Structure 1
C-alpha cells in the first residue's frame, strides 16, 4: 500500500514533469507545504515552468548553468518586455518556496538556489525607520543571537542580504574584529563585533582553547537558508513583541544615514560611489524629517 506521503510526492513529481503550475501550487498548498497567495505563487512560477519545458530543464536536477539560465528567464515577461527587478525577485522567491517544499518531501536534498544572487529590490518611497525604531528592534532581537548579529551587520555595515547569508566563519577574524566581505575587509563596530563574537562562541569557537580554533571553519555564520527564512524570523520577533515589521532591505538603507563611517566600512570599493550614495541617503533623511 502506498504511503500518503509517497502518493503526494508522486503527484508533485508528475505536476513538475507536466510543468503544470496550477496543479503544483494547489497540491502543495492543500498539503500545507507552502503558504501565501495561490494565485500569486502560480503567476510567479508559471514563466519558469514554461521556459523549463521549452528548454528541457529538469527542475529536480538542474544543469550546471542553472543560475544563469534562471536569470535570463525571470528577466523577461511573457510578451518579451523586460521585467522589473521586484518582479524578477518575486519569481525567484516563488521558486525558492517550491524548492523548500520539495526538500520537505525528500524529492531533493540540497538547495539549487543556495548561492543564487537576486537583484536589489526597487527603491521604495516608504519613510525609513528611525534610529530609535532600530534600537528597539535590536533590543528585542537580543534573545536570538543570530538575528541580532545579522541586524547589526545590515544596519552598521550595509551588508547585502545575499552576501550575509553566504558568510562562513573563516571570513571573521576575532583577534582584530574584521570581516572579509567580497574584496573588502571591514572593521566591525564594537556592537557588531560583540554580537558576532557571541555567535562564534555558540558555534564552538573559544579563544582560550586552541583545539576549538578552526572547528567552525566549515560552518556558515547564519542559519538562514534563504532571504525569506531571515525575513520570516524577523517577522516572528516583531510580531511577538508588537513591533512594526521592518524588511532587511530598509534596515540596510539606514546604514548610510546612521553609520556613515568610511567607504570600506559600508562595502564600497570606490569613494566616489560612496559619496554619491551618502548624499542620496542624506537627502532621504532630510525628506523624512
Structure 2
C-alpha cells in the first residue's frame, strides 16, 4: 500500500509537471487566505501558458523568470489588460506555492523565483486609517469575546503580519518566555504590546499544555477575518481592512526586516514597502478634515 504522504507528493508532482491547476488547488486549499475560486482565477493564465508551452513548473528552464513575467501579464477571462498590482498578486501566489513545495521536499535546488524582478507596485489611492481609528478598533476588540481578533489585529499592526502567515501560525511557533514568534521568513521578537496580547491567548489555549500543531486563530481565510472586523466595527468605528492595517504598521513603526517579517537580504523590497506606506494618503479622522 502506498503511504499517504508518498501519494500526496506524487500527486503534487504530477500537477506541477503538467500544470494541472484544478488538481493542485485540491491539494493545497489550506495554503490560501483567499477563496480558492479567486486563487484559481489569478493563477490560471500562468498555468495555461505552461500547458501551451509544455513547460514544467516543477523544474522550470533557465529562462524561467522572463517567461514567467510574460505569462503573469496575460489578460484574464475578461481580456482586460492586467495592472501591475495584479501581476504582483499572481506572482506572490505562485511564490507561496513554491514555498510549500520546498517545505514538502519536492524542490531542493532553491526557490525558482528567487531574484525575480517584480513590476513596481502601484501606489494605492485609498487613504490609510489614522492611528486614532486603529486604536479605537483595537479597543473594541480587547474583550474576552473578541480576544482572537484582538490578537490577530495587534500582530498585523505591530509587526506587519500578512494574513496568509497569520492564519497558518501554530502554538509550536511561539516561545512565550522571550516573546518570539517563528514566521514564514524569519523569527520576530514581539513588541511588549503584541507579547502581552498573545500571552493572553496562549493562557486561554492552555499555556504550556497548548497543542503545538493547534492553530492560533479560528479564521479560515482572508474573508472570515474581514467579516470579524466588520461585525465588531459596525456602527462603532471605521472599517479597517487587514491590508490597510499592515500598511499602517509600516507607516507608524520603525521596523526592521525581522520585526516586519521580511526575509534576510530583502532590504530593497522592505524599504520600497515602507516608502509606499509612508507616501500613502491618510484618512482624516472625524473633526480633522480640512
Q: What is the TM-score of this pair, normalised by structure 1?
A: 0.57
Q: After TM superposition, give the deviation of residue 265 of structure 1 in Å.
A: 0.5
Matched, 1:228 2:223: yes
1:219 aligned partner: 214
Task: Specify the SS of the correspondent of 2:165.
Answer: helix
Describe the superposition over 1:81-133 as per-residue Cα deviations: whole angstroms up to 9, x where unpaired. Answer: 5576559979xxxxxxxxxxxxxxxxxxxxxxxx8xxxxx9652122111111
Q: After TM superposition, give the deviation of residue 76 of structure 1 in Å.
A: 4.6
Residues 186 and 87 of structure 1, relative CA distance in 2, 3 Å threshold: closer
Q: After TM superposition, give the deviation of residue 216 of structure 1 in Å.
A: 1.6
Residues 83 and 157 of structure 1, relative CA distance in 2, 3 Å threshold: same
1:172 aligned partner: 174
Matched, 1:237 2:232: yes
8 Å Cα contact 2:141/2:149 also seen in 1: yes
1:187 aligned partner: 189
1:203 aligned partner: 205
Matched, 1:278 2:274: yes
- Out of 259, 270, 288, which is 2:253 matched to? 259
Task: For 2:84 and 2:255, locate their aligned partners in 1 and report how far apart those are by CA, in whole Å.
Answer: 32
Task: Specify the SS of the correspondent of 2:181.
Answer: strand
Task: Specify the SS of the correspondent of 2:202.
Answer: helix
Task: For 1:86 and 1:74, locate their aligned partners in 2 and report how far apart those are by CA, in whole Å.
Answer: 9
Residues 139 and 182 of structure 1, relative CA distance in 2, 3 Å threshold: same
Describe the superposition over 1:265-284 as per-residue Cα deviations: whole angstroms up to 9, x where unpaired. Answer: 01222363233433333333
8 Å Cα contact 1:86/1:122 also seen in 2: no
Task: For 1:267 and 1:222, locate their aligned partners in 2 and report how far apart those are by CA, in whole Å.
Answer: 18
Kindly name which structure, 1 or 2, has the bigger radius of gyration based on alpha carbons: 1
Task: Specify the SS of the correspondent of 2:188.
Answer: strand
Q: What's the Cα RMSD here?
A: 4.7
1:125 aligned partner: 125
Q: After TM superposition, give the deviation of residue 203 of structure 1 in Å.
A: 1.4
Q: After TM superposition, give the deviation of residue 243 of structure 1 in Å.
A: 1.3
8 Å Cα contact 1:74/1:83 also seen in 2: no
Describe the superposition over 1:234-253 as per-residue Cα deviations: whole angstroms up to 9, x where unpaired. Answer: 110011x4211111100000
Task: Specify the SS of the correspondent of 1:186.
Answer: strand
Residues 287 and 277 of structure 1, relative CA distance in 2, 3 Å threshold: farther
2:112 aligned partner: none
Task: For 2:71 and 2:227, locate their aligned partners in 1 and report how far apart those are by CA, in whole Å.
Answer: 27
Gaps of 5+ in 2: 1-36, 52-57, 59-69, 91-99, 101-120
Gaps of 5+ in 1: 1-40, 56-64, 66-71, 91-114, 116-120, 207-211
8 Å Cα contact 1:205/1:216 also seen in 2: no
1:151 aligned partner: 153
Task: Specify the SS of the correspondent of 2:187.
Answer: strand
Task: Specify the SS of the correspondent of 2:126.
Answer: coil
1:102 aligned partner: none
Q: After TM superposition, give the deviation of residue 156 of structure 1 in Å.
A: 0.8
8 Å Cα contact 2:129/2:282 also seen in 1: no
Task: For 2:242 and 2:226, locate their aligned partners in 1 and report how far apart those are by CA, in whole Å.
Answer: 7
8 Å Cα contact 1:77/1:83 also seen in 2: no
Task: For 1:83 and 1:262, locate their aligned partners in 2 and report how far apart those are by CA, in whole Å.
Answer: 30
Which structure ranks higher in relative contact order (CA pairs < 8 Å, sequence separation ≥ 6)? 2
